[in-house]
Amino acid sequence: MTKRKRTTTSDAVQILYRRYYEGRPERVRGLEEARANDGVARKLVMLRLQAGLTQRELAKLVGTTASAICRLEDAEYEGHSLAMLNRIASALKQRVEIRFVPVPHGKALKSA
């Protein structure tokens, strides 16, 4: 640890956090809901940022590379595997919970 980063981008993560949410109340509000509503990709970004990790750091924890993390955090990406999700969750002291909820009627909702 020892926080070796002087002033330089002290918390590179904060910069990202700032870039994404600074002065964007709606997004800040949505930050909570995002946990339950948004796509997997965004959930992963949230978790990582809230853990104060960079993609490379998380990658090391998970046992992969930044490339992989980046791909998983891409909203367009749909090929997630439970194995990877579990690995990431585990690294972030989280647990993946999967539930099948009945869709009201003919409402074909997006795939979570």
Residues forming contacts to a copy of itself in the complex (CB under 8 A) are 35-36, 40, 43, 47, 78-83, 85-86, 89-90, 92-103, 108-109, 111-112
Closer residue to a copy of itself in complex, CB, 8/109: 109
Side-chain half-sphere exposure of 52, counting CA atoms within 13 A: 5
Q: Which amino acid is at 69?
A: I
DSSP code, position 105: S
Q: Which does 9 bind (CB under 5 to 8 A by kind): a copy of itself, DNA, none?
A: DNA
Task: Report the nearest approach of DNA to the CB of residue 2 (Å).
Answer: 14
Task: Report the nearest approach of DNA to the CB of residue 64 (Å).
Answer: 3
Helix axes 12-21, 40-50, angle to 10 degrees: 130
Q: Which does 14 bind (CB under 5 to 8 A by kind): DNA, a copy of itself, none?
A: none
Residues 6 or more apart from 16 whose CB is under 8 A from it? 49
Lookup: tokens for 44: 């992963």
